[in-house]
Amino acid sequence: MEAKHRIEELRKTITEHNRRYYVENAPSISDYEFDQLLKELEKLESEHPEYASADSPTQRVGSDLAKPSQEKTGGFVQKTHRYPMLSLSNTYSIAEIEEFVQRADKALGGEKFSYSCELKFDGTAICLRYKDGRLSEAITRGDGTKGDDITRNALQISNIPHKLHGDFPSEFEIRGEVMMPYDSFERLNAQRLEKGEAPFANPRNAASGSIKLLTAEEVKERGLFCTLYHIPAESIAFASHEEALDKAASWGLPISDSRKICDGIEGIKQYIDYWDIHRSELPYATDGVVIKINELSSQRSLGYTAKSPRWAVAYKFKAEQASTKLLSIDYQVGRTGAVTPVANLESVLLSGTIVKRATLNNAELMAEMDIRVGDYVFVEKGGEIIPKITGVDFDQRAPGLEKPVFPANCPDCGTALVKAEGEAKWFCPNDSGCPMQIKGRILHFVGRKAMDILCGEAGIDQFYSAGLASSPADLYSISKLQLVALEGWKEKSAQNFLDSLEKSKSVPFERVLFALGIRYVGETTAKSIAKHFGDIEHIAAASVEELTQIGDVGAVIAESVYAYMHSPVGLEQIERLKAAGLQFAAEADQGPKSDSLSGLSIVVSGNFSIPRDKIKEMIAAHGGKVSSSISSKTSFLLAGEKSGPEKLKKCEQLGIRLVSEAEFMQMIPGEKAVRKEEIIEELTLF
């Protein structure tokens, strides 16, 4: 009964971790810890076949399928895979790779075969289907049998071709990984922190979350890319995996160039050893090496288990880890008041960089690890950008070390900290008097995506210390005389700062709204709110219910906006910034420039020499209406390069004419000359 109880316990635990990993994109344990749980379950099920179950996580892959509630609100339609999309067996042991090679030799008898060694990319799996050379469907792995149709999002990934070239088959599918490069990951997390949102733990989680966004335009901004590595052997007539991928590359598909064909275990070991060292030089995350039998006839002979192919195995790198001494713990206060413990460490080299600090996240994690100043701690980067402490080396703990006490009061202003029910973080509620919060809000206000004022953290520290600025509105009262009296400020730097202040008065309303630093209101949300209400007065008069009518505004954001608009501090800031000359209303509609397109319903498709959004603005500015779909009421299709084949086909069926970009420009008075001037202006920049 003890074995049965443990099997049931492991199944429940693994299923929950699968949900967190694939659906929530918020894993709570490392890949290594998860794999050890799975191996324990596999061992117990092997020893006790009487407890076998088809529903066990050892018999099925983790699922990333959209929740039913998401599907009903404009989410994703589920499609069945033509061939099962399985996971790979994982190992951290070279000995197990040797066993894999021995099993293959024995099973294939005297057949001559080789191995294809490839990097294991740390992203989210995708299946692309091409028909007549055009991308027809993109589907997530899902539960291995069916996945979510994310075609509209895949079309936003820059290196996934919409149309192929060369001698491609009339219909086929190819599988790979969608990833987020480190630079895109860092940029995204910086944006999330600015909004007061939790950062993604690693690029894999960020990629997985991004590919399932409901707004395709937002997917495009995430900087994703794709690498493809497998065409199902059942669907093609090539002799080898290598030949299939070489041909796919010739059709324009993004295939990894890190592949290597090896004849046996020694070549495989050399490949693993090389990339265990050099993977840190790559601009994206990898977590291991995949070894596949290269010959497709041999793959077909070996077949599959219920969960994995027998002709492939994944060797996973252990996350790079170092041991170093914890010197002290700082408690930082962010602009939203959240208090975060940060560990100061003895310098240690990790994944090619010197690490001196690492986040400890919150008080609960500190208590769980039983961490103490003076301990030697394990620091890990692995696929992560931000170093984290994963544990304490208790064997090296010196006697007499005391447990750190998480502060009960704000480390900056002394106010008693508070914690909402269900939250892990403690907050300083003194938002109007806490120096760190005040300076953090000013720093947010002057940021490039907000007011774009020429002032950094050091300058804000000076302004605050000198009593010149304790709120964003105070910046507009600082004089040149006051500036040049500060250390390091010269006539020119002072004038540049004042000029940027003056220029900020023309920043559009949506950026001003973002700059206010309302909790949970990021750049995109600010734009939606500004567009919906038009000016600050209508936002201030809106109820929570009215705010939630905006597409990307939920209850939490709505309540935060409402609270800010009804707080004395918020209202005072708005009035003072208004008096300084900032824009608190969207630009008034100037009406159409002409009626040359009046009464016309126009569908826009394809790529143009100028952004498509600008094309649509031009149509509206001259009295036309932009439609998203072809119908009998469509006046014409404005067809750029790579126009949608379905739209072209429907136009032919309905007898709707096609208009080129050049013809379109001739239809609009004055636009051709303006466009020519824009091109000349662009050329002078280079």
- Spell out a b/e string for 612-643, using b for 16 or more CB atoms within 10 Å of the CB, else e: eeebeebbebbbbebbeebeeebbbbbbbeeb
- Spell out a b/e string for 467-483, using b for 16 or more CB atoms within 10 Å of the CB, else e: ebbbbbbbbbebeeeeb
DSSP reduced 3-state for 585: strand
Non-local CB neighbours of 531 within 8 Å, separated by 6+ positions: 510, 586
Q: What's the rounded Cα separation, in Å, for the pair 449 and 451?
A: 7
Q: Per DSSP, what are the bridge partners of residue 357? A: 344
Q: What's the rounded Cα separation, in Å, for the pair 197 and 73?
A: 23
Question: Using DSSP, how many helices (H) and how many strands (E) does the chain show?
Answer: 26, 21
- The tokens describing 273, both together, are 């050893």
- The tokens describing 645, both together, are 């084949």
- Any catalytic annotation for residue 578? no
Q: Per DSSP, what are the bridge partners of residue 126? A: 140, 176
For β-strands 625-627 and 658-659, DSSP reports them as unpaired
Q: Give the distance, in angstroms, between the CA of residue 141 and the centroid of all CA atoms in the same chain.
A: 18
Provide the CB-side half-sphere exposure for 114 (13 A, CA).
14
Q: Within 10 Å of residue 110's Cβ, how many Cβ atoms?
A: 5
DSSP string, 326-388: EEEEEEEE-TT-EEEEEEEEEEEEETTEEEEEEE---HHHHHHHT--TT-EEEEE-TT-SS-E
Which of these, 268, 242, 272, lies nearest to 257 by C-alpha position? Answer: 242
Catalytic residue among 39, 72, 106, 120: 120
CB 86 within 8 A of CB 307: yes
CB 311 within 8 A of CB 284: no
Which residues are the active-site residues?
Answer: 120
